[in-house]
Amino acid sequence: MPKVLFLTHLVPEITSQFLRYAPPEFEVTIQPHNLPEDQLVALMPEIDFVILFPPRIPEAALRVAKKLKLLQLVSVGFDSIDLDLCRELNIPVTNNGGANSIDVAEHTLAMILAFYRRFTVLDRNVRTDQWRGVDSGLTTYCIDGKTAGIIGLGQIGQRVARLLNAFGAKVLYYDAYPQSPETEQALGVTRTTLDDLLQQSDIVTLHVPLMDSTAGLISTRELELMKSNALLVNTCRGPVIDEIALTEALSHSKIAGAALDVLAHEPPDPNNPLFQLDNVLLTPHTAGVTFDTWPRRGEFIFENLQRVWRGEPPLAQVS
């Protein structure tokens, strides 16, 4: 019987949705993600699979996991995992295979709409007896007719492209690994250079993993290329944007605004200067989290574990 250790901070109501897809022959043990290291190290020698949410596990636990066949992440991001150590120990690492791509894509679109239609301002106005909207539409916009640039056209980026197309946007993309012409045509997207995308786009939305090559991808030079009326959206990882450069650009209206689900440091410093700016819309790293996401993640993850148990290669391997 395969032994599975699920380290998580999810509440039981969510965990039960996730575990609906656990095969009856799998022995699943649930432990808190912050289980003391000595207790975790004591458990690991008999474990065949580890499922992580959030994606963190100490080195000592991995070094004693002699039976471990797969380190399975519930999230898509893998920047908190020591991939070099996992390769040294011959432990494959997989993410959720885009199981939360629907959730992130919808959140991205919601942030664009909320910023364009100034929902937070309008809500506040209604509550304070200011029924007449904001400046008769002088600072509210439609997605229709805009040029949207997607940086990173993986599963999430592709879903965002479909949504933006449905709203009437012209969609550009930049990715180090281009899609096939057939996929580009099906998605209604055009590949271009990063600089060209930044110069042309009214909306720039980021969907790349955090790696050495993407840390600080958007900094002073890139922000200076953007239109003064451009909106920058980030639902991937905070360090992809240089926050000091972004704060400077927003403070001096070099771009119109930013919609950020992620920040460079989480939880953030309450004195973060971005919090003082009216042209910033913030959510607390929740783009990929809805009630509907957990069955999708659970189905994918337990199918992946079964593949490995049968001797097949895992899906969505990142290392």
Q: How many CB atoms within 10 Å of residue 70?
A: 21
Round to whole Å and give the CA distance between 53 and 11.
Answer: 12
Q: Phi/psi zone of residue 280: left (φ > 0), alpha (ψ -120 to 50 degrees), beta?
A: beta
Q: Which amino acid is at 308?
A: V
Longest dimension (CA), the chain: 66
Q: Which residues contact 319 (CB under 8 A, 6 or more apart)?
A: 78, 81, 83, 86, 87, 92, 93
The helix-helix angle for 155-166 and 101-116 (nearest 10°) equals 40
| Rounded CA separation 54/160 (Å) | 24
Rounded to the nearest 5 percent, the helix, strand and coil shares of the chain are: 40, 15, 45
Map out the domains of the chain with their CATH numbers: 3-99+291-309 (3.40.50.720), 101-282 (3.40.50.720)
Q: Please count the other Cβ atoms lying within 10 Å of the Cβ belonging to residue 230.
A: 24
Catalytic positions are 237, 266, 285
Q: Tell me the pTM.
A: 0.94
Q: Which helix (H) or strand (E) holds 267?
A: none
SS3 of residue 248 by DSSP:
helix
Helix (H) or strand (E) holding 189: strand 189-191
Cα–Cα distance measured from residue 76 to residue 168, given in angstroms and rounded to the nearest whole number:
29
Q: How far apart are CA 148 and CA 197, in angstroms?
A: 8
Cβ proximity of 201 and 226 under 8 Å: yes
Residues of the chain with confidence (pLDDT) below 70: 133
Q: CA-CA distance, 85 to 58, in Å (whole number)?
A: 11
Contact 152, 236 (CB under 8 A): yes
Structure tokens at 307: 């593949």
- What per-residue confidence (pLDDT) applies to 50? 98
Cβ count near 305 (within 10 Å):
25
Is the dihedral angle over the CA atoms 138, 140, 143, 146 positive or is it negative? Answer: positive
Q: How far apart are CA 207 and CA 159, in angstroms?
A: 11
For residue 70, report the phi and psi dihedrals to the nearest 5 degrees. -165, 135
Q: Which helix (H) or strand (E) holds 259?
A: strand 257-260
Angle between helices 119-127 and 101-116 (to 10 degrees): 60
Residue 131 has a pLDDT of: 82
What's the rounded Cα separation, in Å, for the pair 110 and 287? 10
Around Cβ 116, how many Cβ atoms within 10 Å?
Answer: 20
Q: Where does residue 91 fall: left (phi above 0), alpha (psi -120 to 50 degrees), or beta otherwise?
A: beta
